[in-house]
Each structure stands twice: as C-alpha cells, then as structure tokens.
Amino acid sequence: MQVLENISLKPYNTFGIDVKARYFAELYSDNDIAEFYSSLTPERIPVLILGGGSNVLFTKDFEGSVACIRSKGIVKLMDDEQHVYLKIAAGEVWDDVVKYAVEHGWGGIENLSMIPGSAGAGPVQNIGAYGVEFKDVLYSVEVADVISRHYRSFRPADCEFGYRGSIFKTREKNRFVINSICLKLDKQPVLKLDYGDIRKELVNAGIRDVTISSVRDIIIKIRSRKLPDPAIMGNAGSFFMNPVISADEYDRLITAYPLMPTFRSGEAIKVPGAWLIEQCGFKGKRFGDAGVHEHQPLVLINYGNATGEEILALAEKIIKSVKKKFGITLGKEVNIF
Ligand code: EPU
C-alpha cells in the first residue's frame, strides 16, 4: 500500500473535476485498508473513501486523504433451493456484478443494470432504478469500523435505508469502510416489469419470452438513450432527488398545474424532479461548460472544463428557480466536497 501526495482526482470522479487530493491511496485488500488506517497521522485526516467516484462533486482540493477501494472478487458463499448468496468485494464494478448474476441466471439486480459506481457504494446510496432498490437484495454488509478498529456485519435492518441513503451516508458517515457486501439472489427470478416503460419497450423490441437477460438488455437500452455516459460527458447520474411532497402541497400544486406528473412510493407522494426542472426552462441549457442534460434534466453535465463550483452554482440556481415557481426544495443526491 502506497500513499501518494498531491494527486489529481480527475480520473477518479465521473464528473471529471480536476482538483487535487493532498494524500491518495488505492486499496486492493482488507489488509491494505487496515494498513492505510494505521498509517493515518493527524495531518492526513479527514479521509474520503471513494468507490467509482460516481456520486461526488469536488468543489476544491481535498486537504486530507482520499482512498480508492479496488478490492475484487465475487464468491458464491452458499445456496439453498431458492436463493444463492454472493459475497462481493467492495471494489468490484457494480455493473460487472449485475452482468455476472444475470449470466448465471440469478435474479434480483437485473433492473439495477448499468448504474455507474462500485459494489461498495450500493449500500451507502441504496442505489435504485426501475422499481428495485439495493436494500431489496441485500443480505449483509461487512465493514471495518475506523473508530474501534473492529470488523462488523450489518444486516439490512441495521442500515437505516431510505431513498438514496443509509446510515453510511447520514448518521455514521465516514465511520465505516465497506469491505464487502453479501447479496441474496433468486434462483427462480421474479421479473419486475411495472416501472415506467419497461413492458412497452419489451413489446417494441419484439421480446415475448422475457428473462432477466432481456430485462437487463432493455434497461441498458433505456439508460443509454436517456442518461449520458460519464466516459464521454462528465456527470454523476441524478444530481437531485425526486422531492416528496405532502398531501396539502399536492392539492395546492395539482390545482395550479393539472398536468403535473406524480407517483406514489408507499405513503409518500413524489414529483419527478426532472419535470420541475424542465418547467423552469433548464432542460438542455448550458452555462459555459456546466449544463443540464437534454434528455434527463436531473442530470448535470460537465462539458469539459467546468469547475465543481460552476456545477454547484448551476445546481443552486436550479434549486432557487424550482423553489420560486413551485415552493418545493430540491434535495441533492450527489455528495459535495
Ligand atoms: N420527466 C420530465 N422531463 C424529462 C424527463 C423526465 O418531465 O426530460 C419526468 C417524466 O414525467 C418521467 C419522470 O420524470 O416519467 C421520471 O423520469 P425517469 O423515469 O427518467 O426517472 P427519474 O425519476 O427522473 C429515477 C432515478 C434514476 C433512475 C430512474 C429509473 C432518482 C433521483 N433518480 O429518475 O436514478 O435511473 O429513476 O428508475 O431517483 C441516479 O440515482 O443517479 C439515477 C439515475
């Protein structure tokens, strides 16, 4: 394990923001993680653990240590009649895990195809798409506690999962390093096709015998059409969350905007942030090298040399505009540093 100094983080965040980390290390194993933490001196703190760097926006140099988790490995721990339990190292690329599961015919995460980032970021963000959330397939998360220096296992009920959040992002942010996750997948997959246009897309593609493999293919198709590839255009997926509104707010808004789309998630009423941003006229707009994506306005773009501050300024402008027009405050999904 090597600690480097004054390293550009441009290759390590999908927004492609060029800031420096005072200290930087790539950690390939649990041993590396342990060694890294025992080498920490006060000037090397704070520590930021990065997975795929697909949910961060850097607005300035990071004056502590940035560590990238690079551990690899997918192991079948056990199985029974219905389920298979996979242990996955935190540094695995999430979509490689989805591909592996689908190739083996194990269901549960096919709807989470093509989400950028690492497996270890799954529980932090409670990643979600097309009607499935990470918490639905999780069996356990294995972590190192950087305070007590002990290893611990979290079951889903301990993770305080919420919409794009968990204990690892909120109450205990920075306390635990995720070493691996264990997923519980179905040997007899149950297809989840009710979200948005999935069924319609399958019909359009002429697919009758729907399998997890065809679901993965269709989702990759939808995502490639709507969401920009970070390798081509810097972005961090949805920059904002879809706001949850109260029943009173709903009544007020639907009277003023009868065409406002909404969807229910449990008791909560959500409004698509994409619609709110579009109504405020930001869809496809560009301000220098910072912009709003032309197909999915929840996504902010770095067209080349935008700074993190420019992206953040655009985000604040959008938040202000949505607040003024609709009285709704958009929350950020991306972590700002
Ligand atoms: N919409 C517009 N204008 C647009 C695009 C969308 O008004 O230009 C409205 C439409 O009413 C559409 C609705 O927004 O029906 C929802 O759009 P979409 O299905 O694209 O999904 P989303 O709610 O905007 C969420 C996640 C995505 C995830 C998709 C698919 C959040 C913050 N985002 O987006 O996750 O891929 O659903 O499940 O929950 C991410 O977290 O980084 C991410 C990309």
Domain CATH code at residue 329: 3.90.78.10
* 299 — pLDDT class (breaks 50, 70, 90): very high
Domain end (from 13, 35, 69):
69
For residue 217, is it within any domain?
Answer: no
The pLDDT of residue 235 is: 97
- Tell me how far CA of residue 60 lies from CA of 9, 131, 221, in angstroms: 11, 35, 35
For residue 60, is it within any domain?
Answer: yes
Q: How are beta strands 268-270 and 244-245 bridged, if at all?
A: antiparallel
How far apart, in whole angstroms, are the C-alpha atoms of residue 299 and residue 241?
A: 10
pLDDT at 266 over 90: no
The pLDDT of residue 147 is: 82
How far apart, in whole angstroms, are the C-alpha atoms of residue 191 and residue 91?
A: 28
For residue 273, is it within any domain?
Answer: yes
| Tens of pLDDT, residues 136-178 | 999 999 999 888 888 999 999 999 999 999 999 999 988 899 9
The verdict on 182 and 78 lying in the same domain is: yes
- Residue of 26, 110, 142, 333 with catalytic role: 333
Domain end (from 38, 69, 100):
69
The verdict on 9 and 82 lying in the same domain is: no
**Phi first, then psi: what are they for 205, rounded to 5°?**
-85, 0
What does the pLDDT average to over 130-139?
96
For residue 270, is it within any domain?
Answer: yes
| Tens of pLDDT, residues 41-61 | 889 989 999 999 999 999 999
Answer yes or no: are the C-beta atoms of 71 and 90 closer than 8 Å. yes
pLDDT at 265 over 80: no
The verdict on 19 and 53 lying in the same domain is: yes
Q: Any residues with CB less than 8 A from the CB of 116 and at least 6 apart, and which?
A: 14, 52, 54, 94, 95, 230, 237
For residue 301, is it within any domain?
Answer: yes
The verdict on 164 and 259 lying in the same domain is: no
Taking the centre of ligand 1 as the mean of its atom positions, its distance from the CA of residue 331, in whole angstroms, is 14
The verdict on 306 and 260 lying in the same domain is: yes
* 213 — pLDDT class (breaks 50, 70, 90): very high
Enter the pTM of the model: 0.93
Domain end (from 69, 87, 107):
69
Which tokens go with 241?
């969350």
Which domain does 18 fall in, by range? 4-69
Measuring from atom 26 of ligand 1, which residue has the nearest CA?
129
For residue 233, is it within any domain?
Answer: no
The verdict on 111 and 143 lying in the same domain is: yes
Taking the centre of ligand 1 as the mean of its atom positions, its distance from the CA of residue 272, in whole angstroms, is 7
**Phi first, then psi: what are they for 201, rounded to 5°?**
-65, -35
The verdict on 313 and 255 lying in the same domain is: yes
The verdict on 80 and 179 lying in the same domain is: yes
Domain count, the chain: 3
The verdict on 182 and 80 lying in the same domain is: yes
For residue 146, is it within any domain?
Answer: yes
Burial of 329 (0-12, 13-18, 19+ CB in 10 A): exposed
The pLDDT of residue 196 is: 84
The pLDDT of residue 238 is: 96
For residue 17, is it within any domain?
Answer: yes
- Lowest average pLDDT, out of 66-80, 90-104, 262-276, goes to 262-276
331 C-beta closer than 6 A to ligand 1? no
